[in-house]
Structure 1
Amino acid sequence: MMHVAVDTGRSLLIGGRWEAAEQTMPVVNPWSGEALGAVACADAGHVERAVASALRGADAMRDLSTGERSRILHAAATALEGDAERFAAAIAAETGKPIRAATREVGRAVNTLRLSAEEAVRLAGETIAFDSFPGGEARSGHYVLEPVGVIAAITPFNDPLNLVCHKLGPAFAAGNAVVLKPAEQAPLVAVMLAKLLVAAGLPAEALNLLTGRGRDFGDALTGHGDVAMISFTGGASVGQAICRSAGVKRVAMELGGNGPVIVMDDADVEKAAAACVSGAFGAAGQNCIGVQRLYVHDAIYDVFRGALVAATGRLRVGDPMDPATDVGPMIGGDEAARILAWADEAVARGATLLAGGERAGALMRPTVLADVPDDARVACHEAFGPVVSLFRFAELDEAIDAANRADYAIHAAIFTESLKVARYAARRLRAAGVMINDSTDYRLDAMPFGGAGRGNMGREGVRFAAREMSQTKVICFHDA
């Protein structure tokens, strides 16, 4: 097993210095059970110092030219690209993500930083026609985009590098400072990235990093009066708690999904089955846009079911460091036990188990269910695990209505050869993105990304996040 080269005892970055804390918590490899290190546990006192540092860092970032912000982000992207193998190994070690997928995540993170570097020099306002209304004839001017100040960024474990880059890159492009709280289960890659950014020339106090347990300092961070904005990716219950503590400040959240896919009778069955297997079981299903519900037309249901089960059975499950592995462990045994319990509950209520339904420790075998009751947890809540449920439909509107039942939605998808059907479904599906002849799992880091329904709280995607992290200032000249 490759060890993660991080001085984990000193994992708090405050005021430009790495610090330890009185308490530590272990970081464990979910596949082997090996202890990768122990990170410092921040508390409310660390929050006070980190936010004070970030206020000074925000002043330093505001004073940087857009060109200098861009240069720093490009330098960080170049450094990350040159260190890709070590970062990929660290991702695989602390999350159990298969090494091939971890390597792809590093590549995406490089792209996210480069997009951020490019956006830094594109953030601009425009002129305003003050003379468009009587009384404004002698006035001219424009608006500019300025940073909001200090941003609290809270990230999950499933993409521990790229999702951090999706917070930091746009924030720095817009000239903000950040207090970063990475996932408890996977903080080591964030520490590595922070060191890389500092080495790339980021002002010393522009990034402050607090590892540890959210319950110990989360409210102190999100409720702090000097934090101008919170950017959070994670579960709905935590999002609700953050909103209760935040007070009056900007909040951008991505709260998960329950990805529905419609497969029409004219679809390419093999292509659709392969895409849905990849979308359902990549990252062991721990993916907010992963395929969770499959609505398949009656005319092809039996053929599609056979193709889906066969493709699932071909997946290589096991050691994430083996390049041949397709599906590794979940983040921990408790999560795997939860998914198994949800699957067992559905079966007890009449669902049919077509594949999987077994676990060993944190490893949950890719699971396919049919005839699942609509109100079973595995169907109506975000599963965030390697399980997919099959449903039949006869009419497209029936499938669309079923797909739209979930409270939280990010992406939906449809497989069809009919442009008319695709356009109709794209209009009717209540999701923030509709993928045509692709699974819900597709994401380009440049596109707007976020939730719909109750999860609709802002957008990520570098360009869109950078604007969420900016505020307008109007400058008006009275020429008379």
Structure 2
Amino acid sequence: MMHVAFDAARSLLIGGRWEAVDATMDVVDPWSGAALGAVACADASHVERAVAAAMHGAAAMRELPTGVRSRILHAAALALEADGERFAAAITAETGKPIRNAAREVARAVNTLRLSAEEAVRLAGETIAFDGFPGGESRSGHYIYEPVGVVAAITPFNDPLNLVCHKLGPAFAAGNAVVFKPAEQAPLVAIMLARLLLAAGLPEGALNLLTGRGADFGDALTSHPDVAMVSFTGGASVGQAICRSAGIKRVAMELGGNGPVIVMDDADVDRAAAACVSGAFGAAGQNCIGVQRIYVHDAVHDRFRAALIAATRALRVGDPTDLSTDIGPMIGTGEATRIAAWIEEAVAGGATLLAGGERAGALVRPTLLADVPDDARVACSEAFGPVASLFRFADLDEAIDAANRADYAIHAAIFTESIRNARHAARRLRAAGVMINDSTDYRLDAMPFGGAGRGNMGREGVRFAAREMSQTKVICFHDA
């Protein structure tokens, strides 16, 4: 069991001070069911105080030289790297993510903070050619980027460290203050990171953290008139509620996906199968860019299917603290029960079970389905669990049309040795990113990241998020 080296009940960070309240909630290890600790449950009164503290923090951050912001983030990255084993163990304990995957998440989070540190000194404007239009000949000037002010950041459980760094790093690089709400299921890693950032030198009030249930204070936070921007990663229904409450302010959201992969007749079948298995079942499928639908050309379908089944059945499922484990539990028995019901529904509708399908508590064995009806939820909705569906096709455009059926997407992918087919698919696939000879699961933390279609609201990726969290100011000199 993870050892909590701090009083988790004192989990509200407001104006540089850690506070406790009478109301608490347990944080539970999804593998063992043991309580890891209890955190405070914030309410609307804490929102008022946190936003007021953030307003002071925003003023301090605005005046902080970009070089100082950069040094703080670099110091945080170094501290996180040095404490990586403890952070990885905490990720595994809170989420059930296998320890090897948790260690990779820590390494990515270090990189995200370093990218943020570098962006702090790159966030610069440009000169403007005012004399390019009649009447501007005697004018000169430029534009700069300024912080928006107070950012409300809300993160999910599936990457409880790196996704937090993707909110906080760019916000601080751009000179903002943050009121941060971590996932209810995984707040302990966020508290650990907050303590690390404070030790790195953040000004008082720059980071405020509220743990607890979103239903108790979420609306108060997102609707607060002094919050300039809401940055949210999570489900579509919560995203819709945030949009209703936020009113007139910036909103950036990543609301999930339904990743399609196309495997052409000239693809490296073994490479494609291995990538699809990794992309579908890593993090127990709780991944917004995970592989969910796989479209395979008739000419290689049977060979690919055999390779896919073999690779899926070879995965080691169980204790996430064991270095040999590939797949751990889902975040809880509720989510595991849901995805098991979706699988059963698909089979009842005519789908063929190729592998997996069994559930024990929060553990769901990696599941492959074929002959899935188009209206089954495992095909048309975001599954967010360890299940992938296999389809066959004869023509590339047919596969692209099927891949585009979902009304939202983040990444799509194609395996092919043909540049012509790769370019054709890249043009026609309706997604925010198209991966060639990689699964949909590939993400570099420096690249722009977000949705296409429904849920297309802004971009993450450090450079792009920092600009989302900034506003331009034009400075014009009239020389005459």
Equivalent position of 1:327 in the other structure? 327
Q: What are the Cα deviations for residues 190-220 of structure 1, in whole angstroms up to 9, with x where unaligned?
A: 0000000000001111000000000000000
How far does residue 334 in structure 1 lie from its aligned partner after superposition? Answer: 0.6
Once the two structures are TM-superposed, the CA of residue 353 in structure 1 deviates from its matched residue by 0.2
Given that 1:4 and 1:93 are in contact with CA atoms closer than 8 Å, whether structure 2 keeps it comes out as no
SS in 1 for 2:392: strand
Equivalent-residue separation in structure 1 for 2:263 and 2:26 (angstroms): 44
Deviation of residue 56 (structure 1)?
Answer: 0.2
| Structure 1 residue 21 displacement after superposition | 1.3
Tell me if the contact between 1:106 and 1:161 (Cα under 8 Å) persists in the aligned partners: yes
Partner of 2:296: 296
Give matches, 1:355-394, under 5 Å: 355-394=355-394
Superposition CA RMSD, Å: 0.5
Q: In structure 1, what residue type is equivalent to 2:438?
A: D
Show the counterpart of 2:197. Answer: 197
In the aligned structure 1, how far is the partner of 2:290 from the partner of 2:73? 29
Q: Which residue does 2:239 correspond to in 1?
A: 239
Could you tell me which runs of 5 or more consecutive residues in structure 2 were left unpaired when the two chains were aligned.
none
1:408 is aligned to 2:404: no
1:434 corresponds in structure 2 to 434
Q: Name the TM-score, length of structure 1 as normaliser.
A: 1.00
Q: 1:77, 1:35 → 2: CA distance?
A: 29
Question: Residue type of the partner of 2:239?
Answer: G
Aligned equivalent of 1:311: 311
- Aligned counterpart, 1:419: 419
Give the Cα separation in 1 of the matches to 2:222 and 2:91.
27
8 Å CA contact 1:6–1:188 kept in 2: the answer is no
Q: Secondary structure at the match of 1:455?
A: coil
Alignment of 1:442-457 (within 5 A): 442-457=442-457
Instruction: Report if aligned partners of 2:2, 2:36 keep a CA contact under 8 Å in 1.
Output: no
Q: Aligned residues, how many?
A: 480
Instruction: Say whether the 8 Å CA contact 2:156–2:234 is kept in structure 1.
Output: yes
Give me the whole-angstrom Cα distance separating, in 2, the residues matched to 1:273 and 1:336: 25
Q: Name the CA distance, whole Å, in 1 between partners of 2:460 and 2:300.
A: 36
Aligned twin of 1:96: 96
- Please give the alpha-carbon distance, in whole angstroms, between the structure 2 residues aligned to 1:279 and 1:315: 13
Aligned-partner SS, 1:116: helix
Cα deviation code 1:270-314 (max 9, x no counterpart): 000000000000000000000000000111111111100000011
Instruction: Quote the offset at 1:6 in angstroms.
Output: 3.2
Contact conserved, 1:151 with 1:179, CA < 8 A, in 2?
yes
2:454 and 2:386 mapped to 1: Cα distance?
24
Runs of 4 or more consecutive aligned structure 1 residues displaced over 2 Å after TM superposition: 1-6
Identity of aligned residues (%): 85
Deviations 1:42-99 (A, max 9, x none): 0000000000000000000001000000000000000000000000000000000000
Separation (CA, whole Å) in 1 of partners of 2:105 and 2:407: 28
The answer to whether the 8 A contact 1:80-1:196 is kept is yes
Note the residue ranges of structure 1 that are not aligned, 5 or more in a row.
none
1:5 to partner: Cα distance: 2.4
SS of the residue corresponding to residue 27 of structure 2 reads strand
Tell me if 1:395 matches 2:395.
Answer: yes
1:4 to partner: Cα distance: 3.1
**For 1:105, what is the secondary structure of its paired residue?**
helix
Residue 270 of structure 2 corresponds to 270
**1:262 aligned counterpart, secondary structure:** strand
Which residue of the partner structure matches residue 133 of structure 1? 133
Separation in 2, partners of 1:98, 1:204:
35
Decide whether the 8 Å contact of 1:446 with 1:461 is kept in 2.
yes
1:223 and 2:220 correspond:
no
Q: Per the alignment, in what secondary structure is the counterpart of residue 134 of structure 1?
A: coil
Q: CA separation in 1, counterparts of 2:119 and 2:143? A: 18
**How far apart, in 1, do the equivalents of 2:408 and 2:211 lie?**
28
TM value normalised by structure 2? 1.00
Cα drift, residue 22 of structure 1: 2.1
Once residues 149 and 186 of structure 1 are traced to their aligned partners in structure 2, the CA distance between those partners, rounded to angstroms, is 27
Please give the alpha-carbon distance, in whole angstroms, between the structure 2 residues aligned to 1:304 and 1:4: 45
Contact 2:355–2:368 at 8 Å: present in 1 too?
yes
Report the alpha carbon displacement of residue 404 of structure 1 after superposing the two structures with TM: 0.4
**2-side partners of 1:455 and 1:101: how far apart?**
27
Residue 383 of structure 1 aligns to which amino acid in structure 2? A
Q: Which has the higher mean CA deviation after the structures are superposed, 168-177 or 3-12?
A: 3-12
Distance in 1 separating the partners of 2:260 and 2:310: 21
Aligned pairs for 1:144-159 within 5 A: 144-159=144-159
Q: Deviations over 1:395-441 (max 9, x none)?
A: 10110001001111000000001011000000000000000000000
- 2:464 aligns to what? 464
Cα deviation, residue 3, structure 1:
2.2
Deviations 1:423-473 (A, max 9, x none): 000000000000000000000000000000012100000000000000000
Secondary structure of the corresponding residue to residue 388 of structure 1: strand
Residue aligned with 2:443, SS: coil
**Counterpart position of 1:179:** 179
Aligned mates of 2:235, 2:406 — CA distance in 1:
15
Q: Secondary structure at the match of 1:67?
A: helix
Report the secondary structure of 1:185's partner residue.
Answer: coil
Per-residue CA shift, 1:150-186, capped at 9, x if unaligned? 0000000000000000000000000000000000000
Displacement of 1:7 in angstroms is 1.5
SS in 2 for 1:316: coil
Partners of 1:96 and 1:393 in 2: how far apart?
36
- Residue 323 of structure 1 deviates from its aligned partner by 0.4
Q: Secondary structure at the match of 2:385?
A: coil
Q: Is the 8 A contact 1:6 1:191 kept in 2?
A: no
Map of 1:248 onto structure 2: 248
